[in-house]
Amino acid sequence: MAENKPKNDVMEKIVSLAKRRGFVFPGSEIYGGLAGTFDYGPLGVVLKENVERLWLQMFRDDRDDMYGIDSAILMNPKIWEASGHVGSFSDPLMDCKKCKERVRGDKLIEEKLGIEAVVGKSLQEIGEIIKKNKITCPKCGSGDFTEARSFNLMFKTHQGVIENATDLIYLRPETAQGIFINFKNVVQTSRKRIPFGIAQIGKSFRNEITPGNFTYRTREFEQMEIEYFMEPGDKEMVKKTFDEWKKEVFDWFLGLGIKKENLRFREHDQKELSHYSSMTVDVEYKFPFGWGELMGLADRGQFDLTQHETFSKENLKYLDPMTNKQYLPHVIEPSFGVERTILTVLLDAYDEDKVNNEDRVVMRFSPKIAPVTVAILPLMKKPELTKVAEKIYKDLRKKFKVEYDDSGAIGKRYRRQDEIGTPFAITVDYDTLEDKAVTLRDRDSTKQKRVKIEELEEKIEKLLTTP
């Protein structure tokens, strides 16, 4: 079983399987690549869509208190001054004097001494901690670094044909601000009253100094973010709402089929909190390289709307139609990363076992997110069998993600479906011509059952909805 393997081994296996089977490719590969970029292949894109669809369903469509928006990536640069990103969204950058490797001082310390050693430390302190603990360059082993300096993580670009300082803009480093600046628009055009939230999925960009661990830390990534607006002032109500979200976001990962023992909460301590937050809890996953952040739940208070009101000089207050009270809402923010979720799903699903004394690699995806739900496999490529199989394929594809495969030995075809995580496989054999039934194979147990063709749809539907 996967649990007994050396852990980094699992990461290597996932990277290789992801490429071999078309989940995730290295970015710009035929040109020698571009560090920290990845492209999603035919199966990866469906997996991603399935995960995002479930997220929208749980957090937007199945709730009475949520809306969606889709805001622009390019925004007025004043927004990033107001949000604090121009001033303080930076990492401590250091260069190894010997091999010129660029490193994040805080990460070097965190890896050696744990996160507690680095939270809230100044640039100068970071340099001192590295010297004192003889932390060395991860590439060449030298301990000779430049002083730590602040490096802003926002990607800069220019709008318009002539490049000058006045048309400098940024690629958004988070989708959250697109929600805040549209708060007034949503209030004015919709009928929900506070408390309500706005959800958005979209790309964000951060010029990370050290991207790595496959798709865990990348410079271009997708976020699934929610800003939840409520009346300020009532601390107990805020705490209660925060705790409700805490449960919801954890349940979301369990709903994807992630094993509970690989998930945990981690509360940020006072020094570690971002400039905008008074309370943050991460959901972490036990990655092969250690526990790592999967999503963050932050109490942002009134920080962002206050800032935007000041910088834009627009009145952003909410007028309660029942009480006539006017206020800037208190905000709770659940923020998820799509790539990290996908990586987690891949790692968590990976397993190896033996079937009929043969080694098998199997991706145990939840049927709700597997890129292919049902594989249709005629036992042999004979017209009398393929005719029936094609008919089943055409019928079922209206309802499910279905793949048809009639080439090669049946055992080999099962192995391929196991490796891409297809939960169900239908085999059409010669008995089918007599009994109008097929075998339905379960990926995890490899057990096969005889099912009437006319009952297939209902049967699969049932299997999909039972956990």
Footprint of Zn ion on this chain (CB under 5 A)? 96, 98-99, 101, 137, 139-140, 142
The answer to whether 332 and 308 are in contact (CB under 8 A) is no
N- to C-terminal Cα separation, the chain: 22
Amino acid at 39: D
Can you list the alpha helix ranges (DSSP code H) found in 281-409? 303-312, 338-349, 383-396
What crossing angle do the helices spanning 123-132 and 105-113 adopt, rounded to 10°?
50
* Close Cβ partners of 62 (under 8 Å, ≥ 6 residues apart): none
If the CB atoms of residues 20 and 131 are measured against Zn ion, the closer one turns out to be 131
Q: Match 């006017």 to its residue by tokens.
A: 326
Q: Match 């989708």 to its residue by tokens.
A: 175
The least distance separating Zn ion from the CB of residue 142, rounded to whole angstroms, comes to 5
Distance (Å, whole) CA 370 – CA 70: 26
Amino acid at 170: Y
The least distance separating Zn ion from the CB of residue 95, rounded to whole angstroms, comes to 9
The least distance separating Zn ion from the CB of residue 130, rounded to whole angstroms, comes to 13
The least distance separating Zn ion from the CB of residue 412, rounded to whole angstroms, comes to 47
The least distance separating Zn ion from the CB of residue 33, rounded to whole angstroms, comes to 22
If the CB atoms of residues 96 and 194 are measured against Zn ion, the closer one turns out to be 96
If the CB atoms of residues 28 and 142 are measured against Zn ion, the closer one turns out to be 142
CA distance to 80, 136, 179, per residue, from 153 (Å): 12, 24, 21
Q: Match 């834009």 to its residue by tokens.
A: 312
If the CB atoms of residues 173 and 211 are measured against Zn ion, the closer one turns out to be 211
CA distance to 76, 82, 123, 198, 425, per residue, from 333 (Å): 22, 18, 28, 10, 41
Distance (Å, whole) CA 34 – CA 44: 19
Amino acid at 380: M
If the CB atoms of residues 9 and 144 are measured against Zn ion, the closer one turns out to be 144
Distance (Å, whole) CA 360 – CA 353: 5
If the CB atoms of residues 135 and 374 are measured against Zn ion, the closer one turns out to be 135
The least distance separating Zn ion from the CB of residue 141, rounded to whole angstroms, comes to 7
If the CB atoms of residues 80 and 145 are measured against Zn ion, the closer one turns out to be 145
If the CB atoms of residues 65 and 101 are measured against Zn ion, the closer one turns out to be 101
The least distance separating Zn ion from the CB of residue 146, rounded to whole angstroms, comes to 11
Q: Which DSSP symbol is given to 375?
A: E
If the CB atoms of residues 137 and 464 are measured against Zn ion, the closer one turns out to be 137
The least distance separating Zn ion from the CB of residue 147, rounded to whole angstroms, comes to 16
Distance (Å, whole) CA 295 – CA 283: 5
Phi/psi at 386 (5° precision)? -65, -30
The least distance separating Zn ion from the CB of residue 114, rounded to whole angstroms, comes to 23
